[in-house]
Structure 1
Protein backbone atom coordinates (compact mmCIF):
# COMPACT_ATOMS: atom_id res chain seq x y z
CA UNK A 1 0.00 0.00 0.00
CA UNK A 2 1.06 3.57 -0.59
CA UNK A 3 -0.20 6.72 1.08
CA UNK A 4 -2.24 9.08 -1.11
CA UNK A 5 -4.57 12.01 -0.77
CA UNK A 6 -8.21 11.25 -1.59
CA UNK A 7 -10.09 14.15 -3.14
CA UNK A 8 -13.88 14.03 -3.34
CA UNK A 9 -15.42 16.76 -5.50
CA UNK A 10 -19.18 17.27 -5.76
CA UNK A 11 -20.32 19.67 -8.49
CA UNK A 12 -23.29 20.18 -10.77
CA UNK A 13 -23.36 17.70 -13.65
CA UNK A 14 -23.08 20.52 -16.20
CA UNK A 15 -19.52 21.13 -14.88
CA UNK A 16 -18.44 17.52 -15.46
CA UNK A 17 -16.58 18.14 -18.72
CA UNK A 18 -14.79 21.21 -17.36
CA UNK A 19 -13.57 19.21 -14.37
CA UNK A 20 -12.35 16.42 -16.68
CA UNK A 21 -10.55 18.95 -18.90
CA UNK A 22 -8.83 20.57 -15.93
CA UNK A 23 -7.76 17.19 -14.54
CA UNK A 24 -6.38 16.15 -17.93
CA UNK A 25 -4.46 19.44 -18.19
CA UNK A 26 -2.50 18.50 -15.04
CA UNK A 27 -2.03 14.86 -16.09
CA UNK A 28 -4.69 13.36 -13.83
CA UNK A 29 -6.16 10.70 -16.09
CA UNK A 30 -7.57 8.30 -13.49
CA UNK A 31 -10.57 9.07 -11.33
CA UNK A 32 -13.92 7.61 -10.36
CA UNK A 33 -17.09 9.42 -11.39
CA UNK A 34 -20.43 8.94 -9.65
CA UNK A 35 -23.38 10.34 -11.58
CA UNK A 36 -26.94 11.17 -10.44
CA UNK A 37 -25.71 12.22 -6.98
CA UNK A 38 -28.09 13.94 -4.59
CA UNK A 39 -27.78 15.55 -1.21
CA UNK A 40 -28.84 18.42 0.99
CA UNK A 41 -26.94 21.70 1.01
CA UNK A 42 -27.30 25.46 1.36
CA UNK A 43 -30.02 25.47 -1.30
CA UNK A 44 -31.94 22.52 0.14
CA UNK A 45 -32.54 19.33 -1.80
CA UNK A 46 -32.29 19.97 -5.54
CA UNK A 47 -35.26 18.76 -7.57
CA UNK A 48 -33.44 17.39 -10.60
CA UNK A 49 -36.63 15.86 -11.92
CA UNK A 50 -38.19 19.28 -12.39
CA UNK A 51 -35.49 20.51 -14.78
CA UNK A 52 -33.86 17.36 -16.17
CA UNK A 53 -30.45 15.80 -15.64
CA UNK A 54 -28.42 18.94 -16.24
CA UNK A 55 -29.24 20.09 -12.67
CA UNK A 56 -28.04 16.88 -11.04
CA UNK A 57 -24.76 16.57 -9.19
CA UNK A 58 -21.78 14.36 -9.91
CA UNK A 59 -18.98 13.27 -7.60
CA UNK A 60 -15.37 12.78 -8.64
CA UNK A 61 -13.04 10.67 -6.49
CA UNK A 62 -9.39 11.36 -7.25
CA UNK A 63 -6.25 9.90 -5.67
CA UNK A 64 -2.95 11.74 -5.90
CA UNK A 65 0.33 12.07 -4.08
CA UNK A 66 0.71 14.72 -1.41
CA UNK A 67 3.22 16.46 -3.69
CA UNK A 68 0.58 16.82 -6.43
CA UNK A 69 -2.29 17.83 -4.10
CA UNK A 70 -1.85 21.60 -4.34
CA UNK A 71 -1.76 21.45 -8.15
CA UNK A 72 -5.03 19.52 -8.22
CA UNK A 73 -6.72 21.87 -5.75
CA UNK A 74 -5.64 24.96 -7.66
CA UNK A 75 -7.00 23.44 -10.89
CA UNK A 76 -10.38 22.77 -9.26
CA UNK A 77 -10.71 25.92 -7.13
CA UNK A 78 -11.99 28.19 -9.98
CA UNK A 79 -14.87 25.78 -10.62
CA UNK A 80 -15.83 25.81 -6.94
CA UNK A 81 -15.60 29.61 -6.77
CA UNK A 82 -17.71 30.08 -9.89
CA UNK A 83 -20.34 27.39 -9.47
CA UNK A 84 -20.17 26.16 -5.89
CA UNK A 85 -19.93 22.56 -4.83
CA UNK A 86 -17.95 20.72 -2.21
CA UNK A 87 -14.39 19.43 -2.14
CA UNK A 88 -13.02 17.19 0.62
CA UNK A 89 -9.44 16.00 1.03
CA UNK A 90 -8.45 13.10 3.26
CA UNK A 91 -5.61 10.65 3.75
CA UNK A 92 -6.02 7.23 2.16
CA UNK A 93 -4.07 4.09 1.35
CA UNK A 94 -3.87 2.83 -2.24
CA UNK A 95 -3.71 -0.95 -2.46
CA UNK A 96 -1.28 -1.90 -5.20
CA UNK A 97 -2.22 -4.93 -7.28
Structure 2
Protein backbone atom coordinates (compact mmCIF):
# COMPACT_ATOMS: atom_id res chain seq x y z
CA UNK A 1 0.00 0.00 0.00
CA UNK A 2 1.17 3.55 -0.72
CA UNK A 3 0.76 6.83 1.15
CA UNK A 4 0.46 10.05 -0.83
CA UNK A 5 0.93 13.37 0.98
CA UNK A 6 -0.05 16.52 -0.90
CA UNK A 7 0.38 20.09 0.31
CA UNK A 8 -1.46 22.49 -1.97
CA UNK A 9 -3.18 25.85 -1.89
CA UNK A 10 -6.69 25.58 -0.46
CA UNK A 11 -7.94 27.37 -3.58
CA UNK A 12 -6.92 24.36 -5.68
CA UNK A 13 -8.52 21.81 -3.35
CA UNK A 14 -11.68 21.19 -5.43
CA UNK A 15 -9.64 20.38 -8.58
CA UNK A 16 -7.27 18.11 -6.65
CA UNK A 17 -10.10 16.22 -4.92
CA UNK A 18 -11.85 15.76 -8.27
CA UNK A 19 -8.64 14.23 -9.68
CA UNK A 20 -8.30 11.93 -6.64
CA UNK A 21 -11.90 10.74 -6.99
CA UNK A 22 -11.43 10.28 -10.75
CA UNK A 23 -8.38 8.08 -10.19
CA UNK A 24 -10.45 5.72 -8.05
CA UNK A 25 -8.84 6.38 -4.67
CA UNK A 26 -10.81 4.71 -1.89
CA UNK A 27 -10.82 7.89 0.19
CA UNK A 28 -8.70 10.72 1.54
CA UNK A 29 -8.19 12.99 4.53
CA UNK A 30 -8.06 16.79 4.20
CA UNK A 31 -6.50 19.06 6.80
CA UNK A 32 -7.10 22.73 6.01
CA UNK A 33 -5.19 25.82 7.02
CA UNK A 34 -1.81 24.10 7.13
CA UNK A 35 1.16 26.40 7.73
CA UNK A 36 4.88 25.90 7.84
CA UNK A 37 8.17 26.96 6.39
CA UNK A 38 9.37 25.97 2.95
CA UNK A 39 11.82 27.23 0.36
CA UNK A 40 9.85 30.47 -0.04
CA UNK A 41 10.01 31.44 3.64
CA UNK A 42 7.51 31.19 6.46
CA UNK A 43 3.78 31.84 6.39
CA UNK A 44 2.51 35.09 7.88
CA UNK A 45 0.30 34.90 10.95
CA UNK A 46 -1.95 37.51 9.31
CA UNK A 47 -3.31 34.57 7.32
CA UNK A 48 -5.33 33.70 10.43
CA UNK A 49 -7.67 36.60 9.67
CA UNK A 50 -7.89 36.51 5.89
CA UNK A 51 -7.18 32.89 4.99
CA UNK A 52 -5.27 34.28 2.01
CA UNK A 53 -2.47 31.94 1.06
CA UNK A 54 -3.72 29.06 3.23
CA UNK A 55 -2.62 25.54 2.34
CA UNK A 56 -4.27 22.16 2.71
CA UNK A 57 -2.67 18.79 3.44
CA UNK A 58 -4.35 15.92 1.61
CA UNK A 59 -3.52 12.37 2.67
CA UNK A 60 -4.37 9.37 0.48
CA UNK A 61 -3.75 5.67 1.12
CA UNK A 62 -4.12 3.48 -1.97
CA UNK A 63 -2.78 0.56 -3.95
CA UNK A 64 -0.04 0.99 -6.58
CA UNK A 65 -2.49 0.82 -9.50
CA UNK A 66 -4.46 3.78 -8.16
CA UNK A 67 -1.24 5.67 -7.43
CA UNK A 68 -0.24 5.48 -11.11
CA UNK A 69 -3.59 7.02 -12.10
CA UNK A 70 -3.11 9.69 -9.43
CA UNK A 71 0.33 10.54 -10.85
CA UNK A 72 -1.16 11.08 -14.29
CA UNK A 73 -3.98 13.31 -13.08
CA UNK A 74 -2.14 15.27 -10.36
CA UNK A 75 1.17 16.05 -12.09
CA UNK A 76 -0.36 18.65 -14.47
CA UNK A 77 -2.21 20.31 -11.57
CA UNK A 78 0.93 20.49 -9.44
CA UNK A 79 2.95 21.81 -12.37
CA UNK A 80 0.43 24.56 -13.04
CA UNK A 81 -0.72 25.54 -9.52
CA UNK A 82 2.31 24.49 -7.47
CA UNK A 83 2.36 22.49 -4.30
CA UNK A 84 4.20 19.35 -3.34
CA UNK A 85 3.49 15.64 -3.35
CA UNK A 86 5.41 12.76 -1.79
CA UNK A 87 4.82 9.03 -1.93
CA UNK A 88 5.89 6.59 0.76
CA UNK A 89 5.22 3.02 1.79
CA UNK A 90 2.35 2.38 4.18
CA UNK A 91 1.93 -0.79 6.21
CA UNK A 92 -1.38 -1.32 7.99
CA UNK A 93 -1.24 -2.29 11.66
Give the TM-score of the pair, scaled to structure 1: 0.83
Q: Counterparts of 1:66 and 1:41 in 2: how far apart (Å)?
A: 28
Structure 1 runs of 4+ off > 3 angstroms?
Answer: none
| Pairing 1:71–2:69 present | yes
Residues 43-87 of structure 1 deviation map (CA, whole Å, 9 limit, x = unaligned): 211226257214100000001111221111111111210121111
> Does residue 7 of structure 1 match 2:7?
no
User: Structure 1 residue 17 and structure 2 residue 14: aligned?
Assistant: yes
Deviation readout 1:12-65 (Å, 9 max, x if unpaired): 110111111111222225101111101111221122625721410000000111
Show structure 2 runs of 5+ residues with no match.
none
C-alpha RMSD of the superposition: 1.7
Which is further off, 44-53 or 16-25?
Answer: 44-53
Q: Which residue of 1 aligns with 2:24?
A: 27
Please give the TM-score of this superposition, normalised by the length of structure 2.
0.87
In structure 2, do the counterparts of structure 1 residues 33 and 83 end up closer, same or farther at CA, with 3 Å as the change threshold?
A: same
State yes or no: 1:47 paired with 2:63: no
